[in-house]
Amino acid sequence: MPPPILLIDCLTLWLNNHLYHHPEQDFSLLFQTFTQTLVASDADIFMVANEVGLGIIPMGELTRQFVDQAGWLNQAVAEVADNVTFVAAGLPMPLKRP
């Protein structure tokens, strides 16, 4: 029997909700727990995240925190992922392959 498939769309919205509802939490611990859960899963997991760090970084403290945390979240997930693909203008660019 093939492994289950899980689609997580979208990591940046998930992060936004954590920043809004639990701004005081330790995000590095949250990301570590999340990635450990991903590694422990036997599912084929596909994740979608928005790239928020390629443009102008906003001046507001909360928006800067969001951009920083989104970058660190994407890095943490990419570290444990087998495949990472950046898509721009509908063109897939492989960043990591097994």
CATH of the domain at 71: 3.40.50.300
pLDDT value at 56 more than 90: no
What pLDDT does 62 receive? 87
- 3-class secondary structure for the chain? CCCCEEEEECHHHHHHHHHHHCCCCCHHHHHHHHHHHHHHCCCEEEEECCCCCCCCCCCCHHHHHHHHHHHHHHHHHHHHCCCEEEEECCEEEEEECC
Residue pLDDT, tens place only, 26-45: 999 999 999 999 999 999 99
Which residues form the domain of 90? 5-96
What pLDDT does 57 receive? 77
Average pLDDT over residues 12-30: 96
State the total domains in the chain. 1
What pLDDT does 94 receive? 97
What pLDDT does 12 receive? 96
